[in-house]
Structure 1
Amino acid sequence: MRQIVLDTETTGLNPRTGDRIIEVGCVEILNRKLTGNNFHRYINPERDSDEAALAVHGLTTEFLSDKPKFHEIAEELRAYVQGAEVIIHNAPFDLGFLNAEFQRIGLPPFTEHCSGVIDTLVQAKELHPGKRNSLDALCDRYEISNAHRKLHGALLDSELLADVYLAMTRGQNSLTMDVAVEASAGGALLDAGPLGEIFVLPASAAELAAHEEVLAGLDKNVKGTCVWRNYSPQQQDSVA
């Protein structure tokens, strides 16, 4: 499977009010392996960046003045993502700008050139509800170093997001309990064989006595019988 991790930098927040893309960065993943076949372009937006946006990416009008305009790189970008699954963090933002740029030069929407879009922000919220799920937060959570990230950059952020995505989805490429181990010599994959015998260790007499003491304390607190006494070992087994 070919996947493209993509990020953009822009002059502001809203393509409908004239904001434009100033940088596109893409990282290729083929069968869950980074290939190094990346795509990176700076773009002359033919306008200044908002002060808030400039503080985020640091790409000045002067720096971008001699860069190609979007219509000059559009075909190259379209060919690069053609048929691939595109991975974006907070996809509606980037797709809004990409679709607007494609529409401006008379091309079908960006999303029609790729096979589908994965939004890693949506994935992260499902995996980590109620927690911060920015790219920086995910790098911290999955122990991916972003110490070199002083300003936002489309290619740098795509490289970080590629590592985050692979870490966040590790183990999802197989729905079975089969295990493969890498041989120490030659890197060949070997079948680890069936899982080992599962040992069940019953509670000791001392542990049962301690458990009974806890239940008695709960009975005292509720001035009756605590709910845990309603579950016999047989009932617990049937639930499990």
Structure 2
Amino acid sequence: MSSHEPSNQHHLQSHAHPVALIGGGPGAWDLITVRGMHRLQEAEVILCDHLGPTVELDKLCDTSNKELIDVSKLPYGKQVAQEKINELLIEHALAGKKVARLKGGDPYVFGRGFEELQALAKRGIACEVIPGVTSAISVPALAGIPITQRGVVHSFTVISGHVPPGHPSSLNDFRALAHTGGTLAVIMGVKNAPHITQALMDAGMDPNTPAVVIQEGSTEQQRSYHCTLGTLAHSMSEHDVHPPAVYVIGEVAGLGT
């Protein structure tokens, strides 16, 4: 490595445009923020997930003059490694391109957005975080379910159901979650619904607690099913619920029936 390379690398980094880390919202194209839409319009390269407004991106910006890169992580399907996504962000930013990273929901709600910001920061690349509407709250609202309600509940907890209770990598305390007295909103939890609901009941949560599952929230395919904690897993199986879906457990789930 020549003595000139480090200064050249610094030169490249100092002239890199800030990467826009955008929360795209729950799915419908017009639920992205105005700032997020503006950054998409300004971008030359857009790295897209499969969630959020990716399918209708042409309604938010002119895609004919942009490079679109699919970096989807489909549940139990196609995967683009996080390390590869980080590399692509860095590569295009250092090439002087205006880069937008479009994620579903909010980039900091189980979206690994902070990992991407850290990777960019290590290379001296600035990152503008643009919050998005998280599906954990918005999808129930669109289905008529308030995540909180005066006189009914004073708290809510958003839970990642990506790994089941008892899994070595699980950081959730389901015994504590069963006794919060608040609403539980579970995202990325379709496959593990039987394990999650059983863990909550084993911890003492009433099986008759109202529940609702909403699939494809905010899209034309949205459908919801009211049930109880005890019947939630069966209801999801009966109706062939698949990701993306959010389920809500708590008294508020009975308000929309």
Greater per-residue helix proportion = 1
Larger Rg: 1
Same fold judged by TM-score > 0.5?
no
What TM-score do the two structures reach when normalised by structure 2? 0.28
